[in-house]
Structure formats: C-alpha cells, structure tokens
Amino acid sequence: MENRIPTYPAAPSPRRRLRAAAAGLAAALLLPLLAAPRPARAMMSVEEEKELGARLLRMVKEQAQLVEDPEVVGYVRGVGRKVLAQVGTSFFDYRFFVIQDAALNAFAMPGGLVFVHSGLIEAVDNEDELLCVIAHEIGHVEGRHVARRMERMQRVNLATAAMAIAGIFLGSPKAGSAILATSGALNASIALKYSRADEEEADRRGYAWICKAGYDPGGLIAVLKKMQRHRWLGSDRIPSYLSTHPGAAERVTYLEHQRAYRPCPQRVPQDNFELRRVQVRLRVLTSDPRVLVERYRRELAATPKDSLLRFGLAEALLAARDYDAALALFRELAEQEGDARPRFRADLGRALFTAGRYAEARKVLTTYLEAHPGDDGARFLLARTLLELGNAGAALPLLGRLSGDWPEAPGLDFQLGRALAAAGRTGEAHYHFYLHYLRSGDARAAAYHRDRALALLPAGSPLRRKLVPPGERNATRAEEEAGR
C-alpha cells in the first residue's frame, strides 16, 4: 500500500514596504551590536559579519521578490562556483540568490551573500559577462569592504547606521531617499558606500580569478558599458548599481588598459546554451504565458528549426497549462536534440512532473540522472516525483544528499519535511518545516513548527540543540537531566 504523504500549505511571500523592512532591520542589527560592543574603530569579526549578513538576508526576503526556481538559481550558483574554485580558502560559505527585478543590478552582502537581478541575467550576452560581474561582487566580500567601512559607524548612531544599510542594499532610489532623509543617515550612507579604492580592489581580485578560471575579463567591461548606456538613455533599470559602485567610466578605462597589458587567453569554449535556456525560463516565469505563446509562434514561423525558440514555446505552453501541446514539443526536443543537448531530456521530465504524469517523469529523470549524476536540479525533481508517487523511502536519500551539497536550494526544507513526515520521523519533519517557514518570512508558521519539533525531538538531538538559543541551553539540559 502506498504511503500517504501529508501536505502543508506553502508559505506566502508578500512584498513588504521598504520602510517596514528598514525599521525591522534597524531593530535586528541594534541588538547584537549593542550586546557585544567592540573596541572603538575595531573591525567586525568574521562571525559578526556572518550574523549581519543573515539578518540582512531576512530583510531582503521581506522587501524583494526572490526567484525560487531551482534551475535559474542553480545556474547562477554554478557560475558563481566557477569563480569560488579560484578563490581558495575563504572565511565565508557563499550563497547565491536571484531577485525578480528588471534592473541591471547585482550586489553582495556581508557573509558571502550574492544577489543578481533577473534583469541583469536577461541583459548579458554570454556567460563571460555574468561570471565577471559575480567575480567582482565576490571581490567585495573577500575584501571585507562593508566590514571595513563599518569601522566608521562608531561615529554615528547605530539606528542611523542600520537605516543607512537598509537604504543602500534594499532601497529603490525613491524609497532609499525617504529612509535617508536625515543628515545623519545620509552621512552614514556615504560612509558605507564603496570607494573607488574598494572598486579597484574588487576589480583586481575579480580579474585574477576570471583569468584563472579561463574566462575573458572583458565581460565586466561589456556589462559596465551596458549599464552606462541605460543610464544615459534615462532607463530606470539601473536604480542603484552605479551610485553604490562609483567611478564606472574610470573603471572601464583602467580595465581596458589592464586587459591590453595583462591579457589572459580564454580557455573555456563559448557555449551560451545554458544561459539562453535560463533567460527563456526567466521570461516565462515573469510574463503572461499566453502572450509568449503567440510571440514564439510568430518567431518560429521565420526560423522553425531554432531549438531555443521551440523550447520557449514549449515552456510557455506548459505555463499556460496546455499540457498536451507542451509535452509534444518537449518530446520532439528530447528526441531530436537529445544527444547534442541532453538537458532537454531533463526538461521533458520536468514537463511530465508539472502535468502530473509522475510515473513517466520518474522513468525519464532516472534515465537522465544515470548519465548526468551531478545535476542537482534534476535530482531534486526526481525526489519530488518519488514523493508524489508515495515513495518517501527512495526520496529521502536524494534529498539528504542535496541538503549537504545545496542546503539553500529553493523549497528543499519543505520537501524534506514532507518526506520525513511520511517516513514517521515527525520531530525532524517539523524541524525542516520550521526552517522553511523561517526562511519564507512566515514567523507564525515557523514558531508552530519549532514548538512541535522541540516537543517531539528526543533529548540530546543535535537538531533540538539548534532550536534552543545558547542562553537557554543550560536550563534545557537541567530539565532533561531531571526527567531521566
């Protein structure tokens, strides 16, 4: 008899006003900074920087709409990891996020958090450009530029400093201006913004990593020129990047000079197929699929053999729930392009899953993963397929491996919770539901699952200890001893 898998409503992710986010950020930042005072002008410790990043991440999730598609986020993560492979030992565990916004923007936060706007992903012409931008942002993190600038925050009120951070990292130009209305906040924002020296250091670090990775550092020059072009045209697609990353024109000049006198040969062959796939996915995720269906059909009439246009039409049909037409196109792509582009086979598996044809999806995904075992997105999808088929026992090892390899995968904790609940491991299930709702910003649901996890996890459980703040652990340990 198949196991019945309990389902839980997905947490909403509403867009909140920036003023509320900034106020919450101020409170979140004040407590740890006041509780652990540092000597005057001492730089933040690595642990403090990580804690600051974690608190800022919660505010970003309240203010911005994040793209939760594992394929899109996984692609950006994969590009970022190509840079990190050249960085060597780092203080930080990097995490990558995609913000659903048309701006040509990217930024990094303390603790190794890198954000790329969907508008930038859609605007780049090749993977070189995206990798170069990410390398530059990682250069800021490794240079600990925010931490170094936080040394100046000793001179201003901490609440003002928190508002300045919110205005810089979270605010649109109009909202940011409202937050930074006081002279103290404006002065703090100026102190926190990157200097030209910061930019040059991030560029130098990034340039070295780009060359070591075998990519062309000219990609960063190309992106900077695109940003300048949109700014000159009066576009609102670059709300903050050039104001928080100063000296774009000068950077183009010295980057071109460095590229001329310190050339590095491009060793990675240009293949932008995955980038184009992700750009199509983003377009479908953020647009009316019915409009896209008509658009792709018109374009295919002129170039009927273009596989990415056919892929776009298939994705749009799938989003419009025209499952029969979508599946027919995905099958054609998998059969005709499969040997050259095996990723289309995984796309067929995803389409079958979306259409509710789980047994067929399992067969397609299992075969694909036998040849491509490193595809985390396909592995996650197979685990979800197995859950829908009632086979939690087979899904758990796949999800457990993902939890180690890609712990921040969108929706992973929710699916782990489902699988553990179906397997009868309810305390662990509530722990992962707690993580899911905490990261989603649903404090009420998170609190409920935390309480249930604490009630069900056995004494001495490592997960239980993670749920208890350090100050409460001695009391909890005494209660556990008394209960024995």
pLDDT tens by residue, 145-188: 877 776 665 554 444 555 566 566 665 443 344 444 444 444 44
Between the alpha carbon of residue 469 and those of residues 462, 475, 476, the distances in Å are 13, 11, 10
Q: Of 170-184, 230-244, 312-326, give the range with the top mean pLDDT.
A: 312-326
Say how far apart CA 162 and CA 59 lie, in whole Å: 12
**Cα radius of gyration (the chain):** 24
Calculate the alpha carbon distances from 50 to 95, 160, 475, 484 in Å: 12, 21, 27, 37
CA-to-CA dists, residue 135 to 104, 222, 479, angstroms: 16, 14, 49
Helix H or strand E segment including 114: strand 113-117
Average pLDDT over residues 11-15: 43
Residue 16 has a pLDDT of 43
Phi-psi region of 111 (alpha: psi -120 to 50; beta: other; left: phi over 0): left
47-101 pLDDT, tens per residue?
877 877 777 787 778 778 899 999 999 999 999 999 999 998 888 999 999 999 8
Helix or strand (DSSP H, E) at 108 = strand 106-109
Say which residue, 201 or 419, is predicted with more confidence: 419
pLDDT recorded at residue 166: 56
pLDDT more than 90, % of the chain: 52
Query: 94-136, pLDDT tens digit by residue?
Result: 999 999 988 888 888 878 999 999 999 999 999 999 999 999 9
**Residue 361 confidence (pLDDT):** 98
Q: Residue 116: phi, psi to the nearest 5?
A: -125, 130
State the Cα–Cα distance between residues 307 and 304, nearest whole angstrom.
8
pLDDT over 80 (residue 288) = yes
330 contacts 316 by C-beta, under 8 angstroms: no
Containing 113, the helix (H) or strand (E) segment is strand 113-117
184 Cβ contact list (under 8 Å, min separation 6)? 156, 157, 160
Encoded tokens for 350: 């995803």
> What is the b/e burial string over 258-297, where b = at least 16 CB atoms within 10 angstroms of the residue's CB?
ebeeeebebeeeeebeebebbbbbbbbbeeebeebbebbe
Q: What was the pLDDT predicted at 247?
A: 64
Q: For position 85, what pLDDT does the model report?
A: 95
Phi and psi (nearest 5°) for 106?
-155, 150
Question: In the predicted model, what is the mean pLDDT of residues 357-384?
Answer: 96
Q: Which two tokens stand for residue 384?
A: 């979800």
More confident residue, 25 or 417: 417
Q: Sheet of 106-109: strands edge to edge?
A: 95-99, 113-117, 106-109
If one counts every other C-beta atom within 10 angstroms of the C-beta of residue 147, the result is: 18
